[in-house]
Amino acid sequence: MEKLIEILKEFDKIRKRDVNEDKWRDKSIEEKYETIAEWFRPCAEKILCNGYFLINGKYIIDLGAIELYYHEEDGDIKDFIMYHTNAHPSKSRLFKLNNDAFPYYNFGSFNLHQSGVDVTFENEKKRYRASFLIRSYRVLETENGMYPKTVSVKYDPHSTHIFDDMFYGGITLNGGTEILWIPTGKPGGEIELLERINVAVYEKPNVKKEILISEKEYSKAKHIKTNKKYYERDLRPWRFQIKNIVEE
C-alpha cells in the first residue's frame, strides 16, 4: 500500500501550493470546488489508469470510478455528507471521551461505512478531512498478480458490493484478507470529471437543501428525489471516472 500512499500525498503538496496564495481567497466557492478537483486529478489518473488492488494474490479489484470527499473543519469548504467530520456527533463512547470529536484516520486507512469503502488521506495538522469512495469497480482473476491481457468484464456501479469482493477473506486478528496496491501493469486510459452520484446540497449538517418543484420540473441532472421530496443536487465535479466505462 506504500505506493498508493505516495500517490495520495501528492494531493497535499498541490493543495499547499494554492491555499497559500492570495488569489485562493478571492475565488468564488464554485471556483474553489473546481480547483480542488484539479488538486486530486493527478492522483485519480494514477489510481484509475495505472494501478489496481491485488486481493490475496488471486483477484484484482480494478477501479472504474472514484469520488472525492473533502471537508475543512476550520475553512470555508464544507462537505456535510461525509460521515467522519466533527459536524456529525459520534455515537461511539470512545469518541465521546475525545470531546465528541472524530479522530483523524491514519493516512491510507480503509473506512468502511454504509455507502461503501473509502480510502482516507486527511491531515489533522491542517484540519481537513479527505477520502475517496470506490464508486465503481470490477473483479478480475489473475495469474501471478498480473493484470490480464484481455478483459471483457463490466464494472459494478454498486459501491456497497465491494465489501464481499474486497474482504471476502474477512478481517481477522491473524491476517484475513491481504490487500496490496500494484502500481503498474494496467493499460493506460483517460478519465473524465463528473458530479458525484446521489449527493444533495446540504444547508447544514444533516439538513439537505429542499426545493419545491413539480414532478414535471424534476431533472436528474439538477435534483435529487427522495421519498417524494426534491433536493438540489451537489454539482461539484468530484467524481473521477474512466472514459467510456461499461457498467453492469
- With CA atoms as reference, report the closest residue to 115 among 94, 128, 100, 132: 132
100 has pLDDT over 90: no
The DSSP output letter for 145 is T
91 has pLDDT over 70: no
228 has pLDDT over 70: yes
Average pLDDT, the chain: 90
In the chain, pLDDT over 70 holds for what percent of residues?
A: 93
pLDDT at 183: 92
Cell of 238: 468530484
pLDDT at 94: 66
Q: How many CA atoms lie within 13 A of 168 on its CB side?
A: 14
pLDDT at 108: 94
Between 133 and 92, the more confident residue is 133
pLDDT at 99: 61
pLDDT at 144: 86
pLDDT band, residue 103 (cuts 50/70/90) = confident
Amino acid making up residue 18 = D
**For residues 146-180, b (16+ Cβ closer than 10 Å) or e, as one string?**
ebeeeeeeebbeebeebeeebbeeeeeeeeeeebe
- With CA atoms as reference, report the closest residue to 201 among 175, 233, 227: 233
pLDDT at 165: 92
Q: What is the average per-residue pLDDT within 164-170?
A: 84
Between 21 and 57, the more confident residue is 57
Distance (Å, whole) CA 82 – CA 131: 9
97 has pLDDT over 60: no
CB contact at 8 A, 176 and 167: yes
Residue 183, burial from CB neighbour count under 10 angstroms (0-12, 13-18, 19+): middle
Full-model pTM: 0.92
34 has pLDDT over 80: yes
Q: What is the average per-residue pLDDT within 26-44?
A: 95
Q: What is the average per-residue pLDDT within 203-221?
A: 89
